[in-house]
Amino acid sequence: MIKLYGIPNCNTVKKARDWLEKNGFAYEFQDFKKIDVSADLLENWLTQIPREQLINRAGLTWRGLESSVKDNIIDNASAIALMRAKTSVIKRPVLVKDSKILSLGFDEVTYKKLIK
């Protein structure tokens, strides 16, 4: 089963959900605001994608953080603590199948290639 992690009111997540539905792919949506984003889940993701990519540094949440908070993201443990405290800082959507990240963000061409 494909899982799509994100926030329902995020435009990029909406595009991904619309694409999945339009193309007939069954998926389970995991709302970052309603589920506990566990340290184990984030640790798994960080074995696949560097924290610099998983943290959305272009987003409003990141830009709104104090410089001291940003400067303290020095390793995976500090990145996980931030992502658990402020789930909106996680780049989204995260498309996962069998615990493996298929895609980070949404790109129609990438989705077409990866989802079978």
The token duo for 55 is: 């943290």
Given 2, 3, 7, 10, the catalytic residue: 10
State the first-to-last Cα distance of the chain, in angstroms, to the nearest integer. Answer: 11
The token duo for 85 is: 């405290």
β-pair type (100-104, 2-6): unpaired
- Please list, in sequence order, all residues whose beta carbon lies within 8 angstroms of the beta carbon of residue 65, skipping any fewer than 6 positions away: 86, 89
What is the rounded CA–CA span in Å between residue 35 and residue 46?
Answer: 19
The answer to whether 10 is a known catalytic residue is yes
Residue keyed to tokens 């993701």: 45
List, by residue number, the catalytic residues: 10
